[in-house]
Structure 1
């Protein structure tokens, strides 16, 4: 053990409730000289064991707990057990005709700072904390043992690594060749994914169930898919018999892939791909008096800190107001936030205020969250970040 963190009296309560984070303000004293990512022991004022954690001196979260078990060493066998357990869970959760899913969801799978996704025969890793970065070798050994025929690629190119004192890292970890764009299956539909250059690890796997949910509302309906990326919601709508689909995204290359996905699935629904700013285009559609039966709002994260929460709420309210004004009578709005700092309750209030300003009476008919391969550990509510509502306009 590289060192020991003695926790201030009263601050150990969160650890006893199995919350996996220790903030700098909770540390009374550091014994030894632990380095970046080293495993340290957490103890209370009496010296009683609280957990084993990865030390991160550059972050406000200065320790992330690997284990609350005093008898558990943080070694190769530890990571093999954790990943093997996660694999067994996903075997029971992943729907048929689906070849892409989240294998490790960080703290909720007992591996803080570790994100691992499966795309067909490729594994994509994001190691976002100091401890995860130091344990790269053990994580890689476990993956090779459990998935011997898979290639492994690293996408640790997220800004949060800077807060850990880490530089971005990408590249091939295991296999004979660099990954090319590949085809995955999701609920029986085929999609192109670029795991080297695509968003996140290549695709928004957390929205799989939400994409499936849209199908029941799209038969013979016009659908507007905002912040469409590679057209997932639009693809599902087209497969469900939508009369027309409009995808909007800032990235022309993402829209090009959206068209390839339609062709890949041999769908004939008329689809318009529009490159541009969603806020601006929705205002133009309003001036043109265009209306849509179904609208999807799946924007990027608007909140990156508590200081930006008020500004983000204004953005969410504005975009939901515009969407409500563009809805046809009895129309359906699917609206989402992936901002973990924005609670479900506050998000509902913001959306309600936007609908009120639009003069629309809306009912929640479904509540949506991240797909179940993105589980939420009960002591770690921060694991619930994606929330959404399916709303029906009452006209």
Structure 2
């Protein structure tokens, strides 16, 4: 820990003072003392009132990320062990831990760090310079804590290859932490078997946040014709097939993802019911409509159309278009599951966009459920960025 003190401008730091985890560059009045980027510093209000301790990086607009608000708490191995134990205990109390997110950054008070557990493999994503210095220690602590629960971790893979690392002045990196192992890992979720490619798959290899949303949609799919858009490695499609769907089409633009989805279908004996096509969803939906295709259930699970405030308007157009196309392809009384995984697309913006889409195609929506991310991706109310997944299920009816 350095001896540096970050002083907040008078009247600034409102998010921090209401429980947030970040200090932005434009909230800082001065930095007193000597430090290196990545060091632990003290944060004080303009009048010297202690606000917390966190790691600093002047390369980033998120200049300080808070680790603790206790003035007498040392940031050492004992501190990180406490954080890791708390994170694991929370998962054991709230979710199926066979595969789950065990650390979710700010929401677990370990800013900039994500760790997913896929069966007996950990995948680590480090997104901030300060936490990167403690990454290997935290991995070792996780192994120890999981071993106490009878879980022996056979391998750890790092997927710190997100572009956001560049904002921290860091290089993108990926590779083994420790001994090498087969990076295609079999997991079971909701009774469905998947091969997760932790080396080449999107982000950490599999989207655990939709675990219970997949169950919620599955129960509507018995004897149904189902279209799963942006299927990735086939998770919604396979849940639909396992729940008794008559036929399922999963679509994704990634050939790697579609090939893996087909393997997953075979793994579950569903290849005769669940089929996959590599295509651009925005091109395929109008083609299906012109061909006269209609479905009982449609799932729209797109990637984040916006990763900044500046591109929200274009994102709204994208969400509106796919929802319009989806509603047109549904049979009267069919079900639409639609979601957004961008925290910049607020719940209000997303619901307004869906409402506008329904109005444009003269459809009436009956809300079945509103859901969000699984509990292993906890939402910290003081950290808006932790609340990112909005998930609706509607029954879509023609106006009569």
Identify the TM-score tier after normalising by the shorter chain.
over 0.9
Give the distance between the partners of 1:340 and 1:196, measured in 2 at CA: 26
1:309 Cα offset (Å): 0.5
Q: 1:169 aligns with which of 168, 173, 197?
A: 173
- Kindly indicate whether the alpha-carbon contact (under 8 Å) linking 2:343 and 2:384 is maintained by their aligned counterparts in 1: no
- Kindly indicate whether the alpha-carbon contact (under 8 Å) linking 2:87 and 2:102 is maintained by their aligned counterparts in 1: yes
Q: Does 1:35 align with 2:36?
A: yes
Q: Which residue of 1 is the match for residue 369 of structure 2?
A: 366
TM normalised by structure 2 equals: 0.95
Q: Which runs of 5+ in 2 are unaligned?
A: none
TM normalised by structure 1 equals: 0.96
Q: Which residue of 1 is the match for residue 133 of structure 2?
A: 134
Kindly tell me: are residues 362 and 13 of structure 1, through their superposed partners in 2, closer, same or farther at Cα, counting changes over 3 Å?
closer
1:179 Cα offset (Å): 3.4
1:382 Cα offset (Å): 2.1
- Show the 5 A alignment for 1:347-358: 347-358=350-361
Kindly tell me: are residues 56 and 216 of structure 1, through their superposed partners in 2, closer, same or farther at Cα, counting changes over 3 Å?
same
Q: Which residue of 1 is the match for residue 224 of structure 2?
A: 221
Q: Does 1:338 align with 2:337?
A: no
Where 1:22 maps in the other structure, the secondary structure is strand
Q: Which residue of 2 is the match for residue 25 of structure 1?
A: 26
Q: Which residue of 1 is the match for residue 300 of structure 2?
A: 297
Worse-superposed segment, 264-273 or 44-53 = 264-273
CA deviations on 1:109-155 (whole Å, 9 max, x unpaired) are 00000101101111111110111112223323322322353122111
Q: Which residue of 1 is the match for residue 317 of structure 2?
A: 314
Q: Number of residue pairs matched?
A: 392
Q: Which runs of 5+ in 1 are unaligned?
A: none
- Kindly indicate whether the alpha-carbon contact (under 8 Å) linking 1:37 and 1:131 is maintained by their aligned counterparts in 2: yes
Q: Which residue of 1 is the match for residue 156 of structure 2?
A: 152
Where 2:219 maps in the other structure, the secondary structure is helix
Alpha-carbon RMSD: 1.3
Give the distance between the partners of 1:15 and 1:341, measured in 2 at CA: 19
Q: Does 1:56 align with 2:50?
A: no
Give the distance between the partners of 1:13 and 1:225, measured in 2 at CA: 42
1:12 Cα offset (Å): 4.0
- Kindly indicate whether the alpha-carbon contact (under 8 Å) linking 1:179 and 1:195 is maintained by their aligned counterparts in 2: no
